[in-house]
Amino acid sequence: MTLPEVVEMKTTLDQVAAYDQWDADHWRPDWIPFLDNGGGDLLCFDLGGYGTGMRNQMLWFDHESEKPDIMYESLDAFLADLYDRMLNDNLRVK
């Protein structure tokens, strides 16, 4: 996502979550979208430590799910996995 896309998506989700009174497990203002799959699902930085207390972990936000999945404990873990996938030709980009 480009930086303007990140800002727009975050703003939209924060506003919709507040207006529709989404459960705090579905969307939180301390989540920052980072990557999307084009279908409304996002990889997000978690600045608050959802579920674990570990700040800066990375979550998978599925717009159809009640709760996000914790994907990586940190940006470093995400980048290490990305690097490994690139080296092993196991990277899928749509």
The predicted-structure confidence for 29-83, as pLDDT tens digits, reads as follows 999 999 999 888 999 999 999 989 989 999 999 988 889 999 999 999 999 999 9
pLDDT at 24: 85
- Angle at the Cα of 69 from the Cα atoms of 73 and 4, rounded to 5 degrees: 80
12/16 Cα distance (integer angstroms): 6
Give the residue extent of every domain in the chain: 3-87
pLDDT at 76: 94
pLDDT at 93: 60
Query: Which segments of the chain does DSSP mark as H helices, in order?
Result: 3-20, 75-87
- Predicted confidence (pLDDT) at residue 94 exceeds the cutoff of 60: no
- Predicted confidence (pLDDT) at residue 17 exceeds the cutoff of 90: yes
Segment (H or E) for 74: none
